[in-house]
Structure 1
Amino acid sequence: DPGVIDSRTIEFPNGRLVSRSIDDRIGAYVVLEAARRYAEKPGAARVVAVATTQEEIAAHGGGAGVCATCIGPQMAIVVDVTFAIDHPGLEKKEHGEAKIDGGPVLTRGSIISPVVFNLLRDTAEANSIPFSLQAAGRDTGTDADAIHIAREGVPTGLVSVPNRYMHSPNELISLEDLNRTAELIAQTCRKVTAKTDFTAR
């Protein structure tokens, strides 16, 4: 007989949320929340929010690659989750320094645009948003891998939410990390104008 684990969403009083499939439903939430905040006080940029499918199973990003090709963005910010290492069994050397309540995680690596990375980092610092860094020597395992090669190439950044117990029925995240990540993205979008130069120098 087939069976499934009965896993329900639980919000704890200390600002933690536990649920299955946080990877990467929470990314879709953060994108929509960032878009909502941006709409309340819009900047010059036209912001398009998408939620895509097949990131885990498609060789080149599935829906993300299609969206990037059709939309042709000036830049892209991908939102995903990453391993929180503040519990036994995960190595800082392998997964970086992401911690619950540590704020968003900014990825730096070969496919990440240094211009977009710097824009995200500078915005976080200017708005006193705590963050940590993660290195990606090759691909990132996220939709950024497909988006950055769409069309003539899309300058792409990656922002992740720390996620404890990823790929389990009881993934755990911080609501404050969600708030900080959405705020970082909204504030970053406000800094983009038609004159923003995304050429890596």
Structure 2
Amino acid sequence: MEVTLADDATAPKKVYRCRYVVAALPLGVLQASLKCHSRQHQIDQSDTLQRSLVRFDPPLSAAKRASIGRLGMGTHGKIFLRFAATRGGGHTDHGSDESGHEHPFWREYGSRVNIATTKADYPMQILNLHPYGRSGTLCVHVYPPLSIGYNGKDDKQVVDDCLDVLRAMFKHLQQHLGEGVDVLPRLLDWKVTHWDTEPEA
């Protein structure tokens, strides 16, 4: 088996000979290469896009091409939540106020990158941007089917749902804060993305 690689049509080609090939391609590139992309006509008219395609020789079987043509990609939403870094509600680059009163949430979880994955009826994963220098910020990754329209909820309702999930996950922090005190730091601002409707999301 031979694999021929080149940056573009005019570049020198590199040929690799091997028994097997594992081709890890983006789904869109694979479908466009097999002429089964939903926007195939647009791709065929673009010289730039054509240079990204691959060619199988001999061609893949009809069954494999049909199977690849039926594959789809899901919508992946992101919700950004920026909290106060201190127990008193302040916000600094270092996560503590002048007295060093870091909120218990950040004291316990501030260095963890992936805080948790959550329950099945709210499919999401939380990326903690706090250790990356984005003080007090969480990025909530939301997966299908919830990310497609968020079950008809508006952005504020989506944020409230995320906060409820977080409160349930970290309710053990109540012992550090006292009864009736929110286990989460004060929410300063937020942003909900809609990948299924926003071109730049």
TM over 0.5: no
Structure with higher Rg: it is: 2
